[in-house]
Structure 1
Amino acid sequence: MATDAITAHLAQQPGIQKLPSPKLTLFVRRAFLDADTCAALCAMIDAERRPSTISDHNGDAAFRTSETCDLPATDPLVARVDAALAAFTGLDPLHGEPLQGQRYAVGQEFKAHTDYFEPNGVDFHRYCSVAGNRTWTAMVYLNEPEAGGATRFKAVDKTIQPETGKLVCWNNHRPDGSLNPATIHHGMKVRAGTKYVITKWYRELPWGW
């Protein structure tokens, strides 16, 4: 489905909210996943988490301090969530990366970054040679930490607070297809409790790794 068709599809979904900004195509849907599904995904992340990494090392060891979990596509719950994301967004599941979970403890964060791979990055060819660059991001908060953990989109002055089951979905490109630096966002430090999210990235071409 073309980008404008995906945007139109998302805009028609029940309960959807669109960010009123010409700089960034971003949607929010509260209660996309129910509490039981979120709790089960949190347990899966806890069982298999490992330190998160970044594609291009920038010399800042504290740039991304969360933990990550690859969620198995063969698990019935993961498959159900994957299918729900594809149906709701209109994005082709064949273009999706495997679903990931992330866990943020107190003090952990992911400093301001974009989800797409920079064409001049040292590992651009490695990450984009098979399926192209990332197009859309779909992220779901699985819980509400006691304090902190918001996602801040600085370029559009928008801060999204964690809320159990809330979906945030955005296009990493502009309408003309160019990469959109206004998608830069900061997974802000958790100040109390723990934050869990799942993230699904979609690519320009079918995922073939």
Structure 2
Amino acid sequence: MPDPRYIVRIASPLDPLPGSDPEELARQCDAVRKRLDASAGTRRVAIESMDMYFVHDFVTMTEAEGLIALTDRDAAPSRRFAAQADPDFRTSHTCYLDPADDLVAAVERRIADLLGIDMKQGEAIQAQRYTQGQQFKVHNDYFASGEPYSAAVAEEGGQRTWTAMIFLNEVDVGGSTHFPYVGVQIKPRARTLMLWNNLDARGFANAYTRHAGLPVEKGMKYVITKWFRERGWSKSRHTDAYRS
């Protein structure tokens, strides 16, 4: 059941970003949804208010270990698009992985092929490392309109459509990905790919996809995340270096 603290009633769609076409976004996301539904080994989660899928063993153990090593090499304190007064809002470490790296390129291609989305629409993979006590409180992957960053992200490729997240390791205690609006908590399972659509069936940003990385209570958590845009993505001032 949804956490009662987060139950919301959405009376009207969230406004689109400048230049976004909800009908085109709905078409793109529907094509991905149909492709995933027909894909062997892809499991859909039974949630009415959002699209969520899983693929177990999406990367090998060797690939996962290699991605963890790249994360440890370059991770720095995480940043956010929007200003946040809460110093504990996002306390993980983050880096962008170099798409010229053979391992990174292979994983990116595999994700894009599964979803059937042009590689040009994919952002660079972001790696996240959470140590004990670190977290990322409830946030959204889609871009809200009317924010200081809205025009910039619209120019660099527009709205985010699908999120692809791979859990690279097992976490001893804690570290689940929590979707409080739909009552789902996902415990990290090593080498599992989780996918979700950040938009609703009409092509508007879906507030039910807001989620949190719950605090790691024991151990460490490594994930990589790849976001896709409605148009071709160009690296912006928000991601001015792959090794941030």
Give the TM-score, by structure 2 length: 0.83
Which residue of the other structure, out of 99, 105, 127, is the alignment partner of 1:101?
127
Structure 2 match to 1:64: 90
Aligned counterpart, 1:167:
193
Amino acid at match of 1:122: P
Task: Tell me which residue corresponds to 1:193.
Answer: 219
Match of residue 56, structure 2, among 30, 35, 55 = 30
2:28 counterpart letter in structure 1: A
Poorly superposed stretches of 4+, deviation over 4 Å:
none
Residue by residue over 1:163-197, the C-alpha shift from the partner in whole angstroms, topping out at 9 and shown as x without a partner, is: 11111101100011011000011101000111000
Q: Name the SS of the counterpart of 1:156 in structure 2.
A: coil
Shift, 1:126, TM fit: 2.1
Superposed, 1:1-209 pairs within 5 Å as 2-209=28-235
Q: How big is the shift at 1:36?
A: 1.0
**CA contact under 8 A between 1:109 and 1:190: conserved in structure 2?**
yes
Structure 2 unaligned spans of 5+: 1-26, 236-244
Q: What SS class does the counterpart of residue 170 from structure 1 fall into?
A: strand
SS at match of 1:155: coil
The answer to which of 117-126 and 151-160 deviates more is: 117-126
Q: Report the CA distance between 1:205 and its aligned residue.
A: 0.8
Q: Deviation per CA, 1:132-169, whole angstroms, max 9, x where unpaired?
A: 01111000000011111110111111111101111110
Which TM-score applies when normalising by structure 1? 0.97
Q: Deviations over 1:48-91 (max 9, x none)?
A: 00111111112111111011111001000000000110111212
CA distance in 2, matches of 1:60, 1:47: 27
In structure 2, C-alpha distance between the alignment counterparts of 1:118 and 1:62, rounded to whole Å: 22
Identity of aligned residues (%): 37
Deviation at 1:202, TM superposition (A): 0.4
Cα distance in structure 2, aligned partners of 1:32 and 1:198: 12
* Rounded Cα–Cα distance in structure 1 between residues aligned with 2:142 and 2:180: 17
Contact 2:168 2:191 in 1 (8 A): yes
- Unpaired runs of at least 5, structure 1: none
2:61 is aligned with what amino acid?
A
Alpha-carbon RMSD:
1.1
Report how far residue 98 of structure 1 moved: 0.5
Structure with max Cα Rg: 2
8 Å CA contact 1:24–1:174 kept in 2: the answer is yes
Asked if structure 2 preserves the Cα contact closer than 8 Å seen for 1:139 and 1:198, the reply is yes
Supply the AA of the counterpart residue of 1:6. V
